[in-house]
Copies of this chain bind each other. A is one copy, B any other.
Amino acid sequence: MPAQPLLTDFPAFAHLQTKAQSLQKGSISALIDDDTQRTLNYVRTAAGLRVDFSKYLLDDATLALLLQLAKQADIQRSIAALFGGDCVNTTENRPALHTLLRADADDGMAEQFTQVSATRASMQTLADTIHHGKHQGFTGKAITDVVNIGIGGSDLGPRLATQALAPYHGSVRCHYVANVDPADISMTLAGLDAQTTLFIICSKSFRTEETLANGLTARQWLLDHGASHGDLQQHFLAVTTNLEAAAEFGIASANCLPMWDWVGGRYSVWSAVGLSTAIAIGWDRFSEFLQGARHMDLHFRTAAHEQNVPLILSLLELWSCNLLGATNHVVLPYDQSLNELPDYLQQLTMESNGKSVNLDGITLPYHTAPVLWGSAGTIGQHSFHQLLHQGTLQCPADFILPLTSHTDNAEQHRRLVANCLAQSRTLMVGRTLEQATATLTARGADMQSAQTLAPHLVMSGNRSNTVVTMEKLTPSTLGALLAMYEHKTYCSAQLWGINPFDQWGVEVGKDIGVAVYARLQGDDESPIDPSTDALIAQWREANR
C-alpha cells in the first residue's frame, strides 16, 4: 500500500499558504463589493439546504486551489470507497456503511441492505404500535412515555432528532438518560408512571457501563412500582448486537433490534438507535428523515467537486484551520429546537477527527479537528458573541437558519431571522476606529473622550462565516443537515489523512476507571498515583 500523503505534501498546499498571507491583508466586504456575482457563485444547494459562504475570507483563486487540493488528495476515490463498502475503517478493518441505513433497495450493497430492510420493518411495527398508543404496560394501560437509555452515539442522535422534530410529535413523550450520575435517571423517573413507561436500552455491546447501570436502576424502579419480573418484558426493548447479554438482563431476543459492526455509534441515528425518535414522530416521518439524508448522500456521491456541499464545507474547514490558524468552529442554529446540535456535532466531529496520527501511524505535523462548540441563537448573542466579535481568536461560524417557523408567531420569528442575518453581517463588517469615533460623538461625547473610548468599540470584522438555510426544519431537512456534517467530517479526515471511524483514545480511560472503581469499592488497595490516591482518600473521608 502506498504511503498516505500528508496534507502539507499536496502541491496545492504551498500555493494556499501564499494565498493565505495575501488574503489576510484584504477584507471580506471588499471581496463582496468587487464581485457582483459572488452572492451567486458562493452559494451551493443540496437536498433542501442552501449553503452561503459568500462571507468567507476566500476568493475565486483560493477556491480553485482548494478544489485542486481535493483532487490531489483523490477525494473522489475516498467517496467511492465509502459508498462501495471498502474497509475505510482501516484500524478496525471494516467498512463504514451508515449511508446504507438510509439507502433505497437499488442503492447497492444488497447483502447488508437485506438486514437493514428487515430491521426497518421491525422498527416500523414497533414505532407505529407505540406511537399510536397500542403498546400496553403491565396494567393494560397504553405506554405514554419512552425512556431511551444510552450514551454517546446511542443518545445524542435520537435526543437531538426528537427535540428538533417536536412539531411532529404524537402523544408519546420521549426522554433520554445517559449519565451514570444517578441524578440523571432519578430526575427523569420522578415525573413518570411505571405502568405507562417503556425503556429502550441502546448499547451495541450491551456492556456500556453507564447504560447497564441505568438499565438496572430502571428495572428496579419498575419492580418497586408494582411490576412483577414477568411484567418486565412489556417494558423493555433493546438495540444491541449482544443478544446473549440482553437476555441475561431479561430482554428476550424478540424485543431486541440489531446493530452492526459496520456502523459507528456516532453515525447510528439512522439505525434502530433512532427508534425513540421514530416512536415520537411515527414511522412515516422517520422515513422522511432517512430520505433527507439519502438525498444528501446522492448529492455527495455524484455532485462535481465544485458543487459538492460537504466537500466545500470541508475545504473551508481546512482553509480556516490549517492555513488561517483557527482552532475552533462555532455552530449557531437560529432555531431553539436545534439547541443540542452543537452537542451532537461535538461527538461527530471531535470523536471522528480528534486524532494525531495518519493512516500510516505517522504523527501529523498539523492540526486536525478543531474544538466545535456553540448554542442556539439568539442565546449566544447575550453571552459569548462578545468574544466572537472582539476576542483575539478566530472563530469560524456556521449559522443555521430555517426560514419559516412551525409556530404562528411570525413577528417573533422575524426577529429571530433578523438577528441571525445581522450577526453574520456584523462578523464580516465589524466597526472601524473612524466609525466608532463618529458613533460616540453622535451620542454627544466630546472629541477627546470619544477618541479615548473609541478603540474599545472597534471590531476587526473580517470574521468568516457561512449561512445554511432551509425553507423549514422538517424530518427531511434535518436528515440532510446531519448527513451533510457527516460527509464534511469524512472529507476532512481524508484530507488530513486520518481514520474518522475509530476511537482508540477512549480505551485507557475505561481501564483506569475500572481500577479506580475497585479502589473505591475497597476491592483493591494497590496505589495508582499519588494525586489519584489523595483524591480517593478524600472521597473516602467524605463517604465514611
User: Is B391 in contact with A336, judged by CB distance below 8 angstroms?
Assistant: no
Oligomeric state, in copies? 2
CB-CB contacts of A409-434 with B at 8 A, as 1s and 0s? 11111111111011111101111000
Q: Is A507 an interface residue (CB 8 A)?
A: yes
Chain B residues in 8 Å Cβ range of A377: 179
State how many residues of chain A have any CB contact under 8 Å with chain B.
153
A386 at the interface (CB under 8 A from B): yes
Contact A384–B354 (Cβ < 8 Å): yes
Cβ A509 vs Cβ B542 within 8 A = no
User: Shortest distance in angstroms between A260's beta carbon and chain B's nearest beta carbon?
Assistant: 19
Contact of A361 among B180, B430, B452 (CB under 8 A): B452
A209's closest neighbor in chain B, by CB? B415
A179 and B376 contact, Cβ closer than 8 Å, known pairs A412-B213, A415-B517, A417-B520: yes
Please, how many angstroms separate the alpha-carbon atoms of A428 and B519 in the complex?
19
Question: Within the complex, which residue of B186, B391, B403, B424 is in contact with A543, where a contact is CB–CB below 8 Å?
Answer: B403
Q: Which residue of B lies closest to A439 (CB)?
A: B507
- Chain B residues with CB under 8 Å of A156's CB are 383
Choice from B361, B422, B509 contacting A512 with Cβ under 8 Å: B422
- Which residues of A, 366-419, contact B by the 8 Å Cβ criterion? 366-371, 373, 375-393, 395, 403-407, 409-419
Please tell me if the beta carbons of A392 and B91 are within 8 angstroms of each other in the complex.
no
Chain A 480-518 per-residue mask, 1 if CB under 8 angstroms from chain B, else 0: 000000000000000000010011111111101111110
* In the complex, residue of chain B having the shortest beta-carbon distance to the beta carbon of A167: B183
Any B CB within 8 A of the CB of A32: yes
Q: Does A538 contact B (CB under 8 A)?
A: yes
**Cβ of A364 under 8 Å from chain B:** yes
Whether B415 lies near A512 (C-beta < 8 A) is: no
Distance from A201 Cβ to chain B, minimum over Cβ atoms (Å): 15
Residue of B nearest to A210 (CB): B378
Check A217/B355 contact, CB under 8 A, given A387-B350, A520-B418: no
Binds B, one of A110-118, A237-245, A523-531: A523-531
Q: From residue A224, how far is it (CB to closest CB) to chain B in Å? A: 12
10 A-B residue pairings within 8 Å (CB atoms): A39-B530, A151-B378, A178-B382, A182-B407, A182-B413, A187-B337, A355-B386, A367-B392, A368-B392, A415-B513
**Given A361-B454, A425-B531, A457-B504, 7 other A-B contacts at CB below 8 A?**
A36-B530, A38-B531, A151-B378, A183-B335, A265-B382, A415-B513, A431-B508
